[in-house]
Amino acid sequence: MNANISRLEERLVVRCPYHLAQGYLDASLRDRANSRKTDTITLRVPLGVGELTENAIVTVATGNDPMHFDRPWRLHWTPESKGLYPDFDGELTVRADEDYTTSILELRGEYRPPAGIVGAAFDRAVGSRIASSTARALLEEVAAGMVDRYRRDEAAKGQRP
């Protein structure tokens, strides 16, 4: 692995069954992937007293799972302001959890810290934790949408999730 490339891997348990969560993620990303257009997402860096935000231009495409079990989505984003925020290439995937009532939302990928050697040192000291917090906030936002849709669908069936 290139010393100037940082890896990122975050997971979040989602209170939504795997087969439904997978469909909800597909539905929310399919239009973006089919349009082949770029879109904007807001990346959030949670802080103790608030958060920093950065708009990023994102492209989405279907990924490939050689085992044909999961349906990963390839993501690429470039922050609008450039500067201190790196580009990111990775995959967003819903995976089965041990419990039928939950699933795992996973974001994996890599980024090159900006500013060369200084940026790499910053990434080792602090930046990688910022990247993890940002990824976690993104997963929490996606998961909240899945759980909300699951609850609405279950309520519409007259059942309680």
> For residue range 31-68, what is the model confidence (pLDDT) as tens digits?
777 766 667 888 887 777 888 888 888 888 989 888 88
Fold of 6-154: Alpha-D-Glucose-1,6-Bisphosphate; Chain A, domain 4 (3.30.530)
- The neighbouring-strand residues paired with 50 are 47
The tens digit of pLDDT for each residue in 65-116 reads 888 888 899 999 999 887 677 899 999 999 999 998 999 999 999 999 888 8
| CB burial readout 132-158, b (16+ within 10 A) else e | ebbbbbbbbebbeebbebbeeeeeeee
Helices (H), the chain: 18-35, 116-122, 128-156
What residue ranges do the domains of the chain occupy? 6-154
